[in-house]
Each structure stands twice: as C-alpha cells, then as structure tokens.
Chains A and B, each alone.
Chain A
C-alpha cells in the first residue's frame, strides 16, 4: 500500500508530499485520494472522510491547513504530463490525466467551454490492487453459475478495486475455470498498474458504449467489465446481452432501488441484465455484501 502512495509522491510538490508523508500512520495507511486545490486546503480522503492537515502533517482545522500555490499546481501538472501538457489534451477535456504508471488524476478548473484554460484542482487517486477482494463473488459464480453483476456504492468505497479484483480472478481462472474477459476501461482505472496476465482483452480510453459494442462484436468475451455505467450505455449493454455476454458493472448509488428512478438505467434492471448485486460499504473497514438482485429490487 505504501508503495502506491509513494508512487504518487513523485507527482506532488515537495512541501505537500512531506506533509502527507508525516500524516499519522493510521491515516496514511488508509488514504484513498490526495486532493490539491489552488490556494485552498489540500486534503486526503480516508473512506468517506476528508482530512485536512498542516505543513507538518498534523490534522487540523480548514483555516490552518496547507494550501497549494499556483506554482505547486503547475509543478504537479508538469510532473503528471512529463512536461508535455499537449499530450493529454483529449483526457484533460474529459477531466483527468492518465498517470503513466496506471490510474488517473482528476482535474478541474477554468474552462473556455471545451478545454481547461487553468487547472485549479487535482485529485490523485490511489489504485490499489487487492486481488482477493472479489473472491466471494467468484465462489458465487462457481456454485450458482456466472451472471450479470451490478456493484453499488457511494463514491470512493472501492468499486474500482472490486472490479480490478474480479477482472484478475476471472481472467486468471482463480477459484473457477478462466473466462474470456472484455474490459471497457474508459478512464484507465480498471487495469491501472496491474499486469493482467489472464485471458482478458482491454479497450483503453474509449467511451464505454463504443467499447462494449466493439468487444461484443470483435472479441466475443464471456463477460464484459466496465466502471460507472450510465444511461448512455444502455443500448450497447442490451445488444451485448442478446449475444449472451454477461456484464459486470459498477454504479454510484446508495442502494440499487435508487436506480429505479434513474430513467434509462432502470431499463437495465427491468430487462434482467443483472443477476447479482454487490454492495460495498465502509464501516471502519471495507465490507462486501452479495445478494441476488431479485431480493432487493
């Protein structure tokens, strides 16, 4: 885990990386995100808690917290883009910069309607690879057969970590026979920094609907995995289902019942795309609950 955070230190200005490094161990070990804001508090996210700290790494009030200067924001951007911002135009327009070692840094700021003219905030997300997080789902697949899965949780609860784990386990045949996996990795997050040595085919950087269409038509996967599904992908998913491809997807929500009120996404539930629902929670530790979707919707 430390290696992952230390990997992010190379993109941080020295003053801020020192402060993060000096955070109390119980915070440092659980950091999910490091967020830099121009002339505003720098914070780290632990579970669903936002922690601000001073330049010595002591948690403190917002008013005395360490703030990133314009030079520091620029330094961080320069490091993330290898001093070549123009190489990341298409990603920055979509609000992120791919991290060379895998993963992404979310960005936002002043826009001219299309491009960001100035970047005010940077969100460096840690991409953990915990290979056994989705082990219970593999057991369910092994006992009851493979089905579509919807992974539900509020943001930063480990949906992507779960998807990374299930990608690894299914494509490597850990706990069951290996399956052909197609991964639609729009934001370079699912496969970030991990070597999928199993039978997985990945489309990086393309929008999800197009990726799902291409994977279905050209790679004939047994399962398609994608992050943060939305109404835009409904048609592509339904088409994939007609060819027998199962879908494992995540969605931001507190409970799958909420999806019934989300227009086009509700259609996916009505059409029986998903057989199981995985709910992720954080109550001092990450918890996973796997339920047949019929029981809860």
Chain B
C-alpha cells in the first residue's frame, strides 16, 4: 500500500511539473499569435488600406480570443490607444516584447502608410527574435521544471516511506 501511495505521489508531482512546463509554452504561443496578428495587420494595411477597427474585428486567433486580447481591442471604436493598453495587459510576455508593442501602440493609426509599415516591421522583427529566444529556452526550462517536480515528489515519497 505504501509503495502504491509513493508511486501515486511521484506521478502526481510529475503531472504538476508537466502542467507548469506547458504554461511556460503559453508565452511562446502568445508571441507567435501576436506576430501573426501584426503580420495580418501589415498585409491588410498595405494591400487594402483597411481601417484599424476593421482589421481588429476580422482577425481570428483562438489563443488571442481566449485571452480576451481581440475583444479588448474592439471594445471602444474611438480610443484605440486606450484599447491597445488594455489589450496588452492581458498578454503574458517578456517585458522587452511588451515595450515594443507599447511603442507600436503609441503610433498606431497616426502615421502615413510607409512610416506605419516601418514601425510594424520593427515590432515584428523584435517579436521574432524574442520568439527565437523563447523557443531555445523553453525545452530547457520545461525539462528543468519537470525534473525538479519529479525529484521533489520522489524525495517526499522516500521520506514518507
């Protein structure tokens, strides 16, 4: 019975570690979705001169929808800078990427097409490099998290035995 209990404890610790490791990959998912969003925005601006509100409304992404990012952007038609700030608060990202998005938000819709596209490109590039960093770091972080939880569970099981 003791052994069964110990195995359950170890399995539970491992599961917890896996869940936490997956949460860490959410950041990658968020950055990836935001990059897709900005790329979509760039394409609609460049090819159709689509208005921001229309761009925000027509973009579909399950992850950003679940976070409430897209509905925050569309919440008020008159004050996009306020919407942008509210939407950014809902994203879990590193501060560097968020800062890039804040800078983009300050000029969004206030520049001519060339300048607007340049700003978008700068932001997309910054997020791409941030994504690469996260992609490199995540497997190590995930492994470490899982290992720590597994070892902790095992240690507790040994002590209890």
Contacts and interface: CB of A to CB of B under 8 A. Distances in A.
Interface of A: 74, 77-79, 81-87, 89, 92, 115
Interface residues of B, number: 15
Contact of B116 (A74, A79, A86, A115): A86
* Most A Cβ at <10 Å: residue of B51, B108, B112, B116: B112
B109 A92 contact: no
B110 A89 contact: no
Given A83-B80, A89-B113, 17 more contacts: A74-B110, A78-B109, A81-B109, A82-B51, A82-B53, A83-B52, A83-B53, A84-B49, A85-B111, A85-B112, A85-B116, A86-B45, A86-B113, A86-B116, A87-B50, A87-B51, A92-B112
A140 B73 CA distance: 57
Interface of B: 45, 49-53, 78, 80, 108-113, 116
Contacts of B116: 85-86
Contacts of A85: 109-112, 116
Q: Binding site of A, secondary structure by majority: helix, strand, loop or mixed?
A: helix
A115 B111 CA distance: 11
Q: Binding site of B, secondary structure by majority: helix, strand, loop or mixed?
A: loop
A86 B115 CA distance: 9
* Most B Cβ at <10 Å: residue of A84, A85, A87, A92: A84
A89 B112 contact: yes
A137 B53 CA distance: 45
Closest 10 A/B residue pairs (Cβ): A83-B109, A86-B113, A84-B51, A87-B49, A86-B116, A83-B80, A82-B51, A84-B52, A84-B109, A89-B112
A86 B49 contact: yes
Contacts of A86: 45, 49, 109, 111-113, 116
A75 to B, nearest CB: 10
30 contacts: A77-B110, A78-B110, A81-B109, A82-B51, A82-B52, A83-B51, A83-B52, A83-B53, A83-B78, A83-B109, A84-B49, A84-B50, A84-B51, A84-B53, A85-B109, A85-B111, A85-B112, A85-B116, A86-B45, A86-B49, A86-B109, A86-B111, A86-B112, A86-B116, A87-B49, A87-B50, A87-B51, A89-B112, A89-B113, A115-B112
A79 B49 CA distance: 16
A78 B106 CA distance: 13
A115 B115 CA distance: 11
A26 B26 CA distance: 63
A82 B52 CA distance: 8
A108 to B, nearest CB: 15
